[in-house]
């Protein structure tokens, strides 16, 4: 499970803090230095860690904390609160138009991030909510991706719209929207093509879709296992095409988890869901407070 190592380290720091009756400023500084090291080792973005520690320190060395009956506990509480803030405070939902209108969600991300799987997972969630989603195969470069979407769509009981690999993604998107209007679908989810690396053609293709189709939400899928690369990918996508929300996959794996703690702070974009496994049901809503509790133990 992600964060195991970070959790263990933080819990040790907290144990020491709790054990002390009174705290000096020096005690707090030492503890925060250890928190800082633990976060850096968990691959949290350097600037994010620096600001985080600064915020905690400013609050933790104040009079109220140092003279309180349980200063250690107070410092732990501040770390917790700042960590929740780091991840966005509130839970952010995928924005959907009213069911009587058509919502268009454009999924994007690098190849292998888990985009196609996550697209099908989201379709399942929307179906559970009583929506009528249509999955759209816009990845025209990998026939296997189209097939994979079809298989996953079938598992979810959701129709998949495909025109094979002989059309431009923007035209497939337009045709899918027309199909959705005619057939009573109220959410269209576009599974766009990824690349192994950030690539101008990929960005141009996504921009072309956004310019020609009324995209309600652009959702970026990144792989937690890639650590700070995931954060850089998110920053680049957001800068080039504008991202409304991020989904972090493979948080069930043995990742250090730094991406989950950095993305919101670096990009300003919320995490919507986290992928917790390969099964189509393994997608969890992202709750900053629960994630902080999971990390802090
Ligand atoms: P795409 O190239 O971005 O469309 O990626 P895929 O959807 O094909 O996923 C790539 C691999 O990651 C597949 O083997 C998926 O089963 C796997 N995968 C996707 N999401 C998760 C997740 O949350 N956890 C785990 N463990 N594996 C995932």
Q: Write out pLDDT tens, residues 134-192.
A: 999 999 998 899 999 999 999 999 999 999 999 999 999 999 999 999 999 999 999 99
Tokens of 239: 């800068």
Tokens of 37: 């090291």
Q: What percent of the chain has pLDDT over 70?
A: 100
- Nearest residue (CA) to ligand 1, atom 13: 114
| Phi, psi (deg, nearest 5) at residue 101 | -115, 170
249 pocket-lining for ligand 1 (C-beta < 6 Å): yes
- Nearest residue (CA) to ligand 1, atom 20: 114
pLDDT at res. 19: 83
pLDDT at res. 292: 95
Burial 118-135 (b: 16+ CB within 10 A, else e): bbbbbbbbbeeeebebbb
pLDDT at res. 177: 98
pLDDT at res. 83: 96
* CA of 77 relative to ligand 1 center, distance in Å: 35
Q: Which residue has the tokens 């410092």?
A: 75
Residues in the annotated binding site for GTP: 109-116, 191-195, 249-252
Integer Cα distance of 170 and 188 in angstroms:
13
pLDDT at res. 59: 92
- Cα–chain-centroid distance for residue 105? 15
116 pocket-lining for ligand 1 (C-beta < 6 Å): yes
pLDDT at res. 216: 98
List the chain residues with pLDDT less than 70: 1
* CA of 149 relative to ligand 1 center, distance in Å: 12
Please state the atom number of ligand 1 nearest to the C-alpha of residue 139.
4
């Amino acid at each position: 499970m992600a964060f195991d190592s970070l959790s263990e380290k933080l819990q040790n720091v907290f144990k020491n803090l709790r054990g002390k009756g009174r705290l000096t400023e020096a005690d707090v500084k030492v503890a925060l230095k250890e928190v800082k090291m633990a976060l850096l080792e968990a691959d949290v973005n350097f600037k994010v860690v620096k600001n985080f520690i600064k915020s905690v320190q400013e609050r933790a060395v104040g009079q109220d904390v140092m003279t309180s009956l349980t200063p250690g506990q107070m410092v732990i509480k501040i770390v917790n609160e700042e960590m929740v803030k780091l991840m966005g405070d509130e839970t952010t939902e995928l924005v959907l138009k009213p069911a009587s209108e058509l919502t268009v969600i454009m999924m994007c991300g690098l190849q292998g991030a888990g985009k196609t799987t996550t697209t099908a997972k989201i379709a399942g969630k929307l179906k559970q909510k009583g929506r009528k989603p249509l999955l759209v195969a816009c990845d025209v470069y990998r026939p296997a991706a189209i097939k994979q979407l079809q298989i996953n769509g079938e598992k979810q009981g959701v129709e998949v719209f495909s025109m094979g690999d002989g059309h431009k993604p923007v035209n497939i998107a337009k045709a899918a929207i027309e199909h959705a209007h005619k057939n009573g679908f109220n959410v269209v989810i576009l599974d766009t093509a990824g690349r192994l690396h950030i690539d101008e053609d990929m960005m141009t293709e996504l921009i072309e879709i956004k310019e020609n189709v009324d995209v309600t939400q652009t959702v970026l899928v990144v792989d937690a296992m890639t650590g700070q690369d995931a954060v850089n990918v998110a920053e680049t996508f957001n800068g080039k095409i504008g991202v409304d929300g991020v989904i972090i996959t493979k948080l069930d794996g043995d990742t250090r988890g730094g991406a989950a703690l950095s993305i919101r702070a670096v990009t300003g974009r919320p995490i919507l869901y986290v992928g917790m496994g390969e099964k189509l049901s393994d997608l969890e809503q992202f709750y900053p407070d629960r994630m902080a509790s999971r990390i802090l133990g």
